[in-house]
Structure 1
Amino acid sequence: MNQDDFTRVDEYLVEALLDRDEVLDQALADSRAAGLPAINVAPNQGKLLMILAQMVGARRILEIGTLGGYSTIWLARALPPDGELVTLEYDPKHAEVARRNIERAGLADRVEVRVGRGVDLLPGLTGPFDFVFIDADKASNPDYFTGALALSRPGTVIVVDNVVRAGAVLKADGDPNVEGIRRMNALIAAEPRVTATAVQTVGSKGWDGFCLVRVVE
């Protein structure tokens, strides 16, 4: 098996199980046209986020790392009409693309895009949130996890993306992204208020994985 095989399987799964969605397709197209990096979640991963948020009955969602708003739209679709999603984005250009995509999706009434460094914005938020998705700079993952936990309640689910990085997580070699993931894992393991696991994935986004955390007290 190689990357082409992983991509073809993802394409098959998306075609077999997901409806064609012009709003999401246009969000990706606009992100590409604006020069945003193609690091958004895959469609089947976005649907997974939506289902997980629905499973916990999320009414308030926090996203750290907006990019062009693709995952934001998936998550916001899990909310009830009076639900709220706060998403944090460092780059003003990315945030503007995201706002346009979110408005086109008809979700501007329940999504707030805040611009700035996540570590600076988190202390100013009011919790609790029912679901948190962390997908920003990996070097700051320990701070993001700590901030997310402070804004959580028993039952909150925290999902952290890109925690395998094609196996690079095995080596503590000074890469700030890898070091951030490893330090976050150590924090999670030592935190008595949560229970967690991590899952490796392969697909159109390569070999990676996510960490799934549930706040228990």
Structure 2
Amino acid sequence: MPEEAKEVWKQVDQYFVDALIAPSERFDFALEVNRKAELPAIDVTSLQGKFLEVLVRGTSSKRILEIGTLGGYSTLWLARAIPDDGIVMTLELEPHHAQIAKQNLEAAGFADRIDLRIGPAADTLAALVKEHAAAFDFIFIDADKASYPEYLQWCLKLSRPGTLIFADNVVRDGKVIDGGHRDPNIQGVRRFTEMVSAEPRLSATALQTVAGKGYDGFIIAVVLH
């Protein structure tokens, strides 16, 4: 992408952040903790985090499932959106990432709303299905893209009519349209998209996004029955 376009996207992001998100709301401390801990700089933006919060509040969701915790930045936005008796179950593969996330969530005062589980997400999801866990109201998938198809299969088993499933980072700088691309993340997204399209229990759409971090997008689906 041209650098001048990226600079415009960044400035527009900042304009709306300044207009719509108070400094006290942005969880900047968590991003700084993540940076110092040398976690990958792949968190959602503050506007995207607020978007997740708005979706959760707008759907009156109380049980949230997040696949991919990283340092807990998106988890913070989700946790703030639920009532005191709600829960965000967040799944993280890397123990170091999970420890940083735990610190951030405790610092924000949301630790009592979080069920942080460490290990391969597919294993945790399978265990939840086996133990007949209650359905989730909102599911945010933001982990390894190659596994999105498997995650979708488990998520459908952990959903109810009306559950929203939000899958992030599906555009991949536009590379998603290349059916022959060798990147397993791109192939994972393509297979995920095909599965969503073929699944009669889902109604879905996709939106492309541009932001200070670049060009991407998401798929959002609602479980019909």
2:63 is the counterpart of 1:55: no
Q: Could you tell me which of 166, 186, 195 is aligned with 1:159?
A: 166
The alignment's TM-score, normalised by the length of structure 1, stands at 0.98
Aligned equivalent of 1:174? 182
Q: What does the per-residue CA deviation read over 1:27-66, in whole Å, with 9 as the maximum and x for residues that have no partner?
A: 0000000000110000000000000011111010000000
Alignment of 1:1-217 (within 5 A): 2-21=5-24, 24-125=27-128, 126-172=133-179, 173-217=181-225
Residue ranges of structure 1 left out of the alignment (5+ in a row): none
Question: Would you say the 8 A contact 1:27–1:70 is kept in 2?
Answer: yes
More divergent stretch after superposition (51-60 vs 18-27): 18-27
Shift of 1:80: 0.5
Q: Which structure has the highest helix share of the two?
A: 2
Question: Would you say the 8 A contact 2:210–2:216 is kept in 1?
Answer: yes
The alignment's TM-score, normalised by the length of structure 2, stands at 0.94
Shift of 1:21: 2.5
The number of residue pairs the alignment matches comes to: 217
Cα root mean square deviation, aligned: 1.0
Shift of 1:22: 6.8
Indicate the SS of the match to 2:12: helix
Residue ranges of structure 2 left out of the alignment (5+ in a row): none
Shift of 1:127: 2.8
User: Alignment identity in percent?
Assistant: 52
